[in-house]
Structure 1
Amino acid sequence: MQLSTFTKVPSVPREQNYNDFPVTVRVKAPEMTVHLLAPVDIVAVIDVSESMGWDISRLNVVKKAMAKVIENLGAAGAENRLSIVAFNHEVTVATALAEMTERGKKSASKTVDELQPDGGTSFSVALEKAKQILDGREAKDRLAFIIFLSDGSDNFFYKEQVPKAYPIHTFGISNDHSATTLKAMARLSSGSYTSITDEDLDKITEELDQLSDKLSSIVGVDMSINLKSLHPGVSLSRIGPSEAHDGSKSEIGDDKQTATIFVGCVSSGKESEFTVYLNVPEGQGNGTEGAMDVLMVGGSYKQSWDQKLITLDESVVTVKRPSLTSSCKELDLIEERVKYWSKVKLDLSEMSDKAEAEAGVIKVSGGNGEESNCQCQVLQALREASMEGINKAMHHDIYTATMLAIMLRHCGCGGKTTPAITTENVPSMPAQPTKAV
């Protein structure tokens, strides 16, 4: 398991504070062969109330999606087991957990294909049955999950009825499902919630395909990331959830100095990112370059196949704290170049004015108006060509100075030239369109 950190803000001036300083924490699981994956037990709880037969038959769409679940769980070498629980106002079908061998897959497919919509809706009876099936297993060390699919609501269902021992991955089908209840189920059990609207019913196949593939390829369980402030003035303000891991939770300590991200299960080859926001105070760091150590990041997880606890190496997030005074010195590079080119342009303008004035004298004294007028036109063209050339050189020079100043600031050099930073390190200026003279 790889745990890494990075931030897009490399430095904060020591004279300033930074609220909500973002630090990205990334966790990625290695790719594992199917033989090293832990087998899972899944109970698929399917709503077969009367409304599931409405529209283009929501139940038929679910049946098609369940075919992908059965296929994924029956992958070669896997010993995954599946139970089907169908419900309306009562449990209508409940099969025992069966390994997804060829025989098991055919039996599960037949059970799903024969489901018919009828009756009302009761979430509690269905979840209670799913819990009984998982509680009754002899091998309770196997990973276990509940997939819950419904298009309705249950006004008599309460959060106390949620079996928190097993993550529940809920799917709200149609625009009429009870999103509040299904979200609560997922949140209380560290599961997930997916909404499938009437306009996108076919998406449930893709969503269930991805979920079942994820659940059947778990390599780490009880994954947690530990965060600790390394500076007395640095506090943790909030933690942004991972879009790729909506079953995670996070807790920040009362002192705002520590926090834990409960990632839960991590699947083979999958990656999750969390954004940790810090409040960084004014002040200088304790490193040789004024760097401030702001956050310690570590973690642990259990290998899914043998429950062995693995502790991840800790890493330190460091922020450079340059002085605003040195930052101003970096701007001097740009100011010097602007002054230089302003003087060059002024000198050119004075030289051109003098040449054109002399051409005017020749016109009066020589009496040849046509020849003098031609000479003035040549001088004007030379002025424009010279000014265009100077503008191009000026733009390139100032661009180079700006890029060099940025590099100096990021490296904390305070505007001092070092052998490692030269104009050769500066990216080329984008080509400017030429102007015809």
Structure 2
Amino acid sequence: MSSSQTNVCAICSKRFATGQGQAIFTAECCHSFHFGCVSKSVSNGNYACPVCHAKWNNLPFTMPTFVANLPPPKSSNPVSFGFQIPPPSAFGFHILPHPASGRPFDPWPELGPESLVFSDDEPLLTITANSNSSDSRDGLQGVKIKSIPERPAIAASESLSQFAVLVGVRAPPLSDNACLFDRAPIDLVAVLDISGSMNGSKLNLVKRAVHFVADNLGPSDRLSIVCFSSDARRIFPLRRMTDNGREDAKRAVDSVVANGSTNIVEGLKKGVRVLEERRQQNPVASIIFLSDGQDTCSSGLFFQTSSQPPQYLHLLPGSICPRNRGTQDQVQQQTFPVHAFGFGSDHDPVAMHAISDESGGTFSFIESYEMIQDAFASCIGGLLSVVNQRLQIIVRSASNGVEIKSISSGRYASEISDQGCRGIINVGDLYADEEKEFLINLSVPVLRGAEDEEGQGKTSLLDIVCSYRDIVSKEIVRVEVDLVEIRRPKVVSPQDKVVHLEVDRQRNRLWAAEGIAEAQRLAERGNFTGAQAVLSNRRSKLLSSASAQAGDGLCTWLESELKETEQRMGSRQVYQQSGRAFALSGMNSHAYQRATTRGNAVPGAEAQTLSFGQASTTPFSAPAAAKISFGAYTTPNMANMVNKSQQLNKTSASTPSKE
């Protein structure tokens, strides 16, 4: 008679005792055993049933030691352990109730593998009025706004169909003594690839990077961890990063092993559900998503080419892929930015770029495995410094005949209405010290009358208003600036014909970004010679521009970027190995004016520094002496976090191993 029929474990010959918190493993041959007995047997290399000797295809899930030794639950709180493990039923065993609580040890309700409820997030930290918070903000202004016409004057008798006005915003910095309450707390979900290709040092580096993330989140921030291979599993619920929370998060990620194929769709779905099903919400919510391969579980459902985003994007939730939303969800549904990290040379840069671009996140290409912690550090350095939210720029025509023709806003949503009299740019969140610049292209009519005593008139071009939610006060702040005006003399002097360097450098940025996008399209068609020619031409024109000739640091960086992109498009092999990912990461960075890791360069790294703002003549920009680490969009907090990561790496490298 089989063990399942006698209710006796065939390994230890003891009965299955109900109500003592014992785990029971039922194999596909229908024989049951104490989980502790069978797991020990399997760990010794016995992969067949002790009763009928049938070979098992599905082995019992080996529970980490720190999970097995946990005490029974002490309350009805669904988060009794400080972390979550996969439902035992998914791995072929079930858990009997413990008499102290009358419920299973399993911290997830038994609702089936795809209907688990993730409303077990840890409550938010209660924030009370704090004098230190207000003191740290004393003397700091809010968002700064600048507006610079392309030229200071247009002849009164002249009409222009294209005249640019640069509109920029810059968030306030975090002070040296800033506390946690001076920036927005975050709900962060790490979605990590643990497929078989991640085995070995790659997975160890990812675990170390997650440790760094946990250590640098504050007690008001919450972290959840989702791992995916052939399927996806939330291994750690959304918990605050207190001392206990950090340690539990580290133990949870340390328990995973690499195996199976790559199911990107299920990983992202599970990560999104963690945020969608929260009971409480921190002001900022984001997903960091890392993978070293292509989706081998969903991509086979559709025909696709390497140059087109995968069709499986249609399977992703609307909260990270707005194109999948129904008409009723367009306004109400929140979008969660996905900050994607393509790991190594075998990941799918087209898919990862499409996912990040669609969600409003960043796409980083990590060429060297050892860079993963620094890349994560740069990303969270920004996410942990959000000081303004829901920022919006509204521009209005300030004179009859002045019409807004276009807005160069990249991937930030913009709209022109009222027959060109009103324009709007939705920027969203701003990191501390982060700057965004946009070119507003206008048509300017002939000036009729209204001359001043010196025989020249003026034309008011734009009225600019900026609104945003301040993190500290929780109030909506509205900022109005002076009208943007230009002189209208009868005769324009040579000085009046000179384009302002701030406008010129912004045109250079757009010129470079458009060149990378054009070259990438040619490379996808196999025209690598043409792609390199486009980039070479853009470099030549950029270097001959007024701002480059004036020694502008941004132009120096752009020229270097174009040159490296050109080199990575030298052949089909080089392009497929790294050029495609490098170009797409650059396109994403320029579209959102936000730093990304590209190739072997981490934004904020100490090893590569450039001076920016050397050609600047306005107090809005960084002073000429300021040093900003690699990348035009790097913020001080991002650079500080990367420096912290690098110092930790140096310390770890110099510390002798215990083994």
Contact in 2 for aligned 1:286/1:292 (Cα 8 Å): no
Q: CA deviation at 1:236?
A: 2.7
Change (3 A) 1:172 1:15: farther
> Given the alignment, which residue of 304, 314, 320 partners 2:471?
304
Which has the larger Rg? 1
Q: CA deviation at 1:127?
A: 1.9
> Given the alignment, which residue of 313, 317, 321 partners 1:158?
313
Considering only aligned residues, what root-mean-square deviation do their CA atoms show, in Å? Answer: 2.9
Contact in 1 for aligned 2:234/2:270 (Cα 8 Å): no
Q: Distance in 2 between matches of 1:285 and 1:140?
A: 57
Contact in 2 for aligned 1:73/1:213 (Cα 8 Å): no
Q: Distance in 1 between matches of 2:339 and 2:225?
A: 15
Which residue is 2:428 aligned to?
264
Contact in 1 for aligned 2:152/2:487 (Cα 8 Å): yes
Structure (1 or 2) with the greater helix fraction: 1
Alignment partner of 1:255: what SS? helix
Gap regions ≥5 residues in structure 2: 1-142, 302-311, 321-333, 497-659
Superposed, which structure 2 residues align to 1:18-417 within 5 Å? 18-32=160-174, 33-34=178-179, 35-53=181-199, 57-74=201-218, 78-140=219-281, 142-154=283-295, 155=299, 157-159=312-314, 161-162=316-317, 163-164=319-320, 165=334, 166-196=336-366, 198=367, 200-241=368-409, 248-253=412-417, 255-283=419-447, 288=452, 289-305=456-472, 307-324=474-491, 327=493
Q: Distance in 2 between matches of 1:224 and 1:29?
A: 13
Alignment partner of 2:419: what SS? coil
Which residue is 1:404 aligned to?
none
Q: CA deviation at 1:20?
A: 4.0
- Higher RCO, 1 vs 2 (CA within 8 Å, ≥6 residues apart): 1
Which residue is 1:410 aligned to?
none
Change (3 A) 1:204 1:312: farther
Structure (1 or 2) with the greater strand fraction: 1
Q: Distance in 2 between matches of 1:69 and 1:176?
A: 25
Q: CA deviation at 1:212?
A: 0.8
Amino acid at match of 1:5: S
Q: Distance in 2 between matches of 1:270 and 1:236?
A: 26
Amino acid at match of 1:4: K
Alignment partner of 1:266: what SS? strand
Change (3 A) 1:151 1:229: farther
Q: Deviations over 1:276-306 (max 9, x none)?
A: 2323344358573411111121121112356
Contact in 2 for aligned 1:83/1:98 (Cα 8 Å): yes
Amino acid at match of 1:249: A
Q: Deviations over 1:18-44 (max 9, x none)?
A: 454332222122234223322111001
Q: Deviations over 1:212-255 (max 9, x none)?
A: 1221221211111112222343333333347xxxx733233373
Contact in 2 for aligned 1:69/1:209 (Cα 8 Å): yes
Q: CA deviation at 1:265?
A: 0.6
Change (3 A) 1:102 1:254: same
Sequence identity, in percent? 30
Alignment partner of 1:63: what SS? helix
Determine if the alignment matches structure 1 residue 15 to structure 2 residue 157: yes
Q: Distance in 2 between matches of 1:103 and 1:238?
A: 52
Change (3 A) 1:222 1:205: same
Change (3 A) 1:295 1:132: same
State TM-score, norm by structure 1: 0.65
Q: Distance in 2 between matches of 1:319 and 1:293?
A: 7
Q: Deviations over 1:182-210 (max 9, x none)?
A: 233223322222223x3x44444333212
Amino acid at match of 2:209: A
Aligned length: 318
Change (3 A) 1:259 1:138: same
Gap regions ≥5 residues in structure 1: 331-437
Change (3 A) 1:279 1:180: farther
Change (3 A) 1:20 1:60: farther
Contact in 2 for aligned 1:285/1:292 (Cα 8 Å): no
Contact in 2 for aligned 1:284/1:321 (Cα 8 Å): no
Q: Distance in 1 between matches of 2:241 and 2:146?
A: 37
Q: Distance in 2 between matches of 1:233 and 1:9?
A: 18
Contact in 2 for aligned 1:88/1:121 (Cα 8 Å): yes
Q: Deviations over 1:355-384 (max 9, x none)?
A: xxxxxxxxxxxxxxxxxxxxxxxxxxxxxx
Change (3 A) 1:307 1:327: closer
Contact in 2 for aligned 1:28/1:271 (Cα 8 Å): yes
Change (3 A) 1:177 1:291: farther
